Structure 1
């Protein structure tokens, strides 16, 4: 019995590892492309790019793992059925539920991994990603200023440079500051250098002027300077001022939001549903795994109907995923429907178990 259990587990484990790595790699690559522009504009190193993309992995794996488990189980049991190993094991006294037991062990392991991801790693990665993006976005000293174009490091600052000399200094510089929308400031300089200092990034300009319009007097204030230091820290956005998204919150922050915060009150349903969704998502792993097994060996045995069984299993799995999204959307509108979040995977799970209850010790062969 133990040998058969480990044998079936190995048949599932290898396809599971392959499917997980393949699907995760593809989706991770598409997500990584989002950071290319930011990496180039902020002159970040490859390790910074790798760090940013790794922070999205928990969210990707939480989606991929149940799907990969379904595909791996479907492939493994289809192979066992095609090689007549299911028939042999059934004739020796193994019931369908006994044959499904090794897959259940894998499902429990996947559930444990997914709870660790959804309850801790995913919110930790999301909030770390946002904090890191703020840090890189506001690292104005590391930004790349292109020649001959208007560079906009943020929505308050526009910088234009004509060219760079052999030392990397900027020549023909124009800086437009709109922090005060009523009194925009324009600075022009023959030469400028972007430096990091203990007080933060600064733009040192040489031989230029500072122009500011007074809207009340409708006059132009013009100041000529030999040297001017522009503090870029004041252009940085302060992290932590924005509302924390549900994906960035841990479970206790979702179930017990700050009711003194207007944004939390307005998004109360969304937060509560996200908390329950974190608890429900791992349940889809055993549901999908048992659906895969039931679609191959459940019901009446038919040697020629394996293709139809695989298609039926795929359709049911897709229907389950679509139904889960629909139920989550409805629950967000009315939290009374939250029990449906739990009922959805459990109904499919119980249905798959019922299909596997029929003994398989004496399979009936049907030629058509």
Structure 2
């Protein structure tokens, strides 16, 4: 139908633009971290694009509800401000029909969001974990090219190796200049290797000499058989581990936090249907209201709604609330609030006043 295609077009254009803008903003932070690792020498250039690609499902999952809600409010608000919805009602296309159309679109968007929360985001998180593990196990010979000065992931640190032993994954005839507690230090060693443990990645030098005291002009030489310098600290995030687990793994684990994470995946997409009801009723035509008058209330509603959902989910995961009391009831309240926004209380008050006869008119009627 022409009217339906027109409404869908009015929604699709701002939705795409909002998603692109928010995706760029959200990916900028992740890109900064990845770029820092790449410039520090701990991340090869060809892995940057892969890591950014794996961040995209998580970013889209986070921005889709807000972008969809804002697109609905902008599109329907523009139609109300331009009196298009008044014309549609005059031609028989009422707000009830608009609501049905928006809910149909919301069902499709909810199904798409379920695809992200249940499958794409866990898959991307697992792939990212495996890629980071592979990168962490790279030998030193792959991190530093022999015969070139290389900045590594330490402030003001430069590493040079005359040659390498690819079979052993080690660097030979190594020189390194670095800062330690604000003091310039130089280090030479016969060989160096990258070692990984539970705390992070270390560059381990063997059979070398450490030179200190440049600032005090009292040069000190310290011989060592082995010395370790931290390259990259390992940060283990429990939430990230849960995010990478499959739905079956979360369910079979039986722990509260994993079950709460699974509940989040199942309940989070349903917020789109609540936002559909809110958008239609927030943007109903009101005289002397601007085209974007509903944007600010919509943003406030969205922020409060998301805060409540995340707070309740965190409380369930920590054991402060029972599992059955996760935020499904917030969706129910949201739906009720959405239909309450449809009520014109001024008109309702006038109708009630007209329906109930005043005391004076009742007495006059009885006297006559």
Tell me the TM-score normalized by structure 2. 0.68
Q: CA RMSD in A?
A: 4.0
1:315 to 282, 300, 316: 300
Q: 1:132 matched to which residue of 2? A: 131
1:345 offset after TM fit, Å? 2.2
> Which shows bigger deviation, 304-313 or 129-138?
304-313
Deviations 1:107-164 (A, max 9, x none): 1121111111110110111111011011112212321378498x679xxxxx985675
Equivalent positions of 1:1-368 (< 5 A) are 2-42=1-41, 44-140=43-139, 141-144=141-144, 147=149, 161=159, 172-173=173-174, 188-189=189-190, 209=207, 245-257=241-253, 268-297=255-284, 301-306=285-290, 308-334=293-319, 335-336=321-322, 338-356=324-342
Going from structure 1 to structure 2, the CA distance change for 1:74 and 1:161 (only over 3 Å counts) comes to closer
Partners of 1:327 and 1:126 lie apart in 2 by: 24
Question: Could you say what secondary structure the match of 1:256 adopts?
Answer: helix
1:243 offset after TM fit, Å? 10
Going from structure 1 to structure 2, the CA distance change for 1:247 and 1:222 (only over 3 Å counts) comes to closer
- Contact persistence 1:148–1:163 (CA under 8 A): no
1:339 offset after TM fit, Å? 3.0
Question: Could you say what secondary structure the match of 1:55 adopts?
Answer: helix
1:314 offset after TM fit, Å? 2.3
- Contact persistence 1:74–1:310 (CA under 8 A): yes
Going from structure 1 to structure 2, the CA distance change for 1:311 and 1:173 (only over 3 Å counts) comes to closer
- Contact persistence 2:173–2:188 (CA under 8 A): no
Going from structure 1 to structure 2, the CA distance change for 1:321 and 1:161 (only over 3 Å counts) comes to closer
Runs of 5+ consecutive residues of structure 1 not aligned to the other structure: 154-158, 176-185, 195-202, 212-220, 224-229, 260-267, 359-363
Going from structure 1 to structure 2, the CA distance change for 1:50 and 1:209 (only over 3 Å counts) comes to closer
Partners of 1:222 and 1:40 lie apart in 2 by: 30
Question: Could you say what secondary structure the match of 1:188 adopts?
Answer: strand
- Contact persistence 1:327–1:341 (CA under 8 A): yes
Runs of 5+ consecutive residues of structure 2 not aligned to the other structure: 164-169, 177-186, 194-202, 210-222, 345-349, 351-368
> Which shows bigger deviation, 121-130 or 27-36?
27-36
- Contact persistence 1:55–1:126 (CA under 8 A): yes
- Contact persistence 1:42–1:136 (CA under 8 A): no
Going from structure 1 to structure 2, the CA distance change for 1:41 and 1:101 (only over 3 Å counts) comes to same
> Which shows bigger deviation, 274-283 or 331-340?
331-340
1:38 offset after TM fit, Å? 2.2
Partners of 2:283 and 2:312 lie apart in 1 by: 28
Question: Could you say what secondary structure the match of 2:288 adopts?
Answer: coil
> Which shows bigger deviation, 61-70 or 341-350?
341-350
